[in-house]
Amino acid sequence: MTNKFKMLEFFIAFRFLKYKLFRSLIIILAISIGIAVQFFVAIIIDSTQANLIKRTLGYSSHITIKPFDNDKINTKIKNPENFLKNLDLNNFKKIVASVEGGVLVYDFSGKEEKSAKLIGFNNLLDKDLYGLEENLIIGEKNIKNGEALIGYGVYDDLKLNLNDFISIRNNIGDFKGVKVIGVFKTGNQLTDNYILMNKEEVQDFLGFKRYEYSSLLFQVNNVFDSDKIKRQILNNYNYPYEIYEWKEKNKQLLNGLSAQSTSSIFIQFFILFSISISIFSIINMKIVEKYKEIGVLKALGMKNKKITLVFIYMSFILGISSVILGLIFAFLILNLFTNLVKNEQGLPLFDIVIKTNYFIATVLFNIFSIALAGYLSSRKISKIEPSKIIIGG
């Protein structure tokens, strides 16, 4: 019997919405547009921050271990694998042992020169720190002896072409000629002035033995946890090397990211709050429309709890329909945005990032808000005497 009554209440709720279908559709459209704006703004803010982090920190070290700037001690890091012992590698996205040094680069004619950093590296987690797979704009990334990948800054300043030969000079005046087989562009001015070669060639050219490196570079999964992970690393080794993390040398960037995170939370909160108020007003108006119908139901013997349940069902139908339509609108707007807003290479300005937990929580919150609005509005009206409701008193 109870299930039948619940089905009856759902049927009544559906009939209420169907009776003035056009008005119900307008309500669904109004709520869905608000929800679409809410999702669109949240996704754009989160995507902007994620892409800012990627551009500034995505292809550089978050934590660095290197010798102190002192010629008398620890001028090189030896056997970097020893540093990984007793560390939880799940905290790290990439770990690279790097051999590097400042060099002068000359074009084939020898007339143009540029300062650059020569790098050879060993990916200890088999993941590429410099994103060559996605950032290679021309050529290939598989480096052989006598070949180099160069950053876009070197490529553009020296007006080079693919397969050109360049000459590099180290700090003691030795020269080495290499062929340019590819060009990468990360968008980071520092990284785009790198020259990447085979590790062994770089070690020989800069005077390193096979087990010696300039630095050990770590990328962590969450860039804001770098200071905590740095302390964990310090607890796991006793070597007299310098260790620092990106926050220490990028105070302005950290302040900017922190301010952006805080403003993002406030913006999303107030959008969510304002939409919730709007939803409450719209649902309340819809229920007030059914003032006399409530009186009829009460006159027929339906109890207040049952009447309240009718309008909760009605609100759920409106809520779920509005959220689904709002999500469709949000993704249509996102698709339009990414197709219209592009960089000079014709690619989307930034990658869209959707936080699944926030996404699910917001969907549930919107449905809950609409159902709560229905409950609060109907609960007050359902307590009025049926005779007063029917005569409009």
Q: What is the pLDDT of residues 87-128, one digit of tens each?
A: 888 889 899 999 999 999 998 777 778 999 999 998 888 788
pLDDT tens profile 60-96: 888 998 887 655 555 788 888 877 877 888 889 899 9
Contacts 24+ apart (CB under 8 A), 202-205: 202/99, 202/100, 202/101, 202/118, 202/119, 202/120, 203/99, 203/120, 205/118, 205/168, 205/170, 205/174, 205/176
Mean predicted confidence (pLDDT) in 279-294: 72
Mean pLDDT of the chain: 81
Nearest to 376 by CA among 314, 319, 312, 320: 312
**Local structure of 185: helix, strand or coil:** coil
How many C-beta atoms surround the C-beta of residue 298 within 10 A?
21
129, 159 Cβ separation under 8 angstroms = no
What pLDDT digit, counting tens, does each position of 165-201 carry? 999 999 888 999 999 999 999 878 888 999 999 999 9
| pLDDT confidence of residue 167 | 92
Q: Is pLDDT larger for residue 71 or for residue 218?
A: 218
Domain coordinates in residue numbering, the chain: 2-55+255-391, 75-239
Which segment of 62-66, 77-81, 270-274, 335-339 scores lowest on mean pLDDT? 270-274
Give the pLDDT confidence score for residue 1 in this predicted structure.
Answer: 44
Helices 2-19 & 21-57 angle (0-180, nearest 10):
90
> What CA–CA distance (Å, rounded) separates 253 from 324?
38
Mean of the pLDDT values across residues 222-250? 82
